[in-house]
A = this chain, B = another copy of it.
Amino acid sequence: MSAPIIAVDAMGGDYGPRCIVPASLDCLSEYPSLHLILVGQASHLERYLDSHQGVDRSRLSIVDAPEVIGMDELPSLALRGKPQSSMRLALEQVRDGRANACVSAGNTGALMALARHVLKTLPGIDRPAMAAAIPTERNPCLLLDLGANVDCTPDNLCQFAIMGSVAAQVLGTAQPRVALLNVGTEDTKGNQLVKQAAVLLQQVEDLNYQGYIEGDGLFRGEADVIVCDGFVGNVLLKSSEGLARMLSRKGEVLFRRSWLSRLQGALAIPLLRELRAELVPSQYNGAGFLGLQGIVVKSHGGAGREDFQAALRNALRDIEQDLPQQLSRRLQPML
């Protein structure tokens, strides 16, 4: 494989270049063959780069993008109104073969609309889905969709399941167990969407479909791929993050309550730090858009420097596996 090149939407997310520029530089140090294209307001980006020592500019270029898409901008406006946005130009780097992947922490809806428009979906796929690995008691589980599609049809869910299964195989799980998220595991349970999707899934050949799974089954590691609509997936993801953060904070308060508890806490700190790394796992940041003719990774909007690096690493992994090409090849007989 030639040296991987990632186009980075340097203006996206809650912190923009302030966080994305240093995260990008860290990643360049970590991967000596990696090239990055920072896309954004060039004068801005140059200023951030100037404040860092010893930047290897032979592996870092800038593409000037005068426009920025706001975090609450309507996808339709982002699509029609801003031809020079950092997000769009970063995606165009991939379309035009100048980059192997695009990473953005910007507005999810706008990224979905622009990615579909600029890169197009794979043959047979109506809508791309956002997928990420979620930690469980056993192996991580690929959960999709995480918010790119808040209104889904049964066909959408069925395509997500097939894409998720193929992606899990490409990323190393043989015969991934695929399940549909529901409020119960019995056949009679579920809303209309899920019941109709289940009928379709039972008919797909070469899919190791296991039936319904409940929210707690996810964290017990009972499936390798779990499918839901983007509204449900997004609520699940964000509420899990919120719960983990709440428990971590409550633990801190508890360990600071008295002299005794401070001593007990101090002794246990190394272990609690490890547990906490599981609680708010920045290594899990970065959800891939599956089903596009190109690699697009969405970072959490509120991602910090380390989190954004994790998203860049995910993009690198997908480049190494040549994910869209593999998806396209293996999807054809299943759709």
Contacts and interface: CB of A to CB of B under 8 A. Distances in A.
Contacts of A147: 183
B279 A247 contact: yes
A93 to B, nearest CB: 27
A168 to B, nearest CB: 20
Interface stretch (A54-62, A238-246, A285-293, A327-335): A238-246
Contacts of A73: 188
A183 B242 CA distance: 13
Interface string A239-281: 1111111110111001100000101110110111011001100
Interface residues of A, number: 66
**Interface-central residue, A72, A73, A235, by most chain B CB under 10 Å:** A235
A231 interface: yes
Interface stretch (A33-41, A118-126, A189-197): A189-197
A29 B231 CA distance: 45
A174 interface: no
Interface stretch (A3-11, A42-50, A213-221): A213-221
Nearest to A152: B191
Nearest to A239: B215
Given A238-B216, A242-B217, A243-B243, A274 B249 contact: no
A236 B218 CA distance: 12
A239 B267 contact: no
A232 interface: yes
A191 B243 contact: no
Contact of A242 (B71, B150, B215, B251): B215
Contacts of A163: none
A241 to B, nearest CB: 5
Given A261-B271, A265-B268, A271-B254, A228 B217 contact: no
Interface string A166-201: 000000000000000101101111111010000000
9 contacts: A137-B249, A150-B190, A191-B231, A214-B242, A215-B241, A219-B239, A232-B232, A235-B236, A254-B271
Interface of A: 71-74, 109, 135-137, 147, 150-151, 181, 183-184, 186-192, 194, 214-220, 228-232, 234-247, 249-251, 254-255, 261, 263-265, 267-268, 270-272, 274-275, 278-279
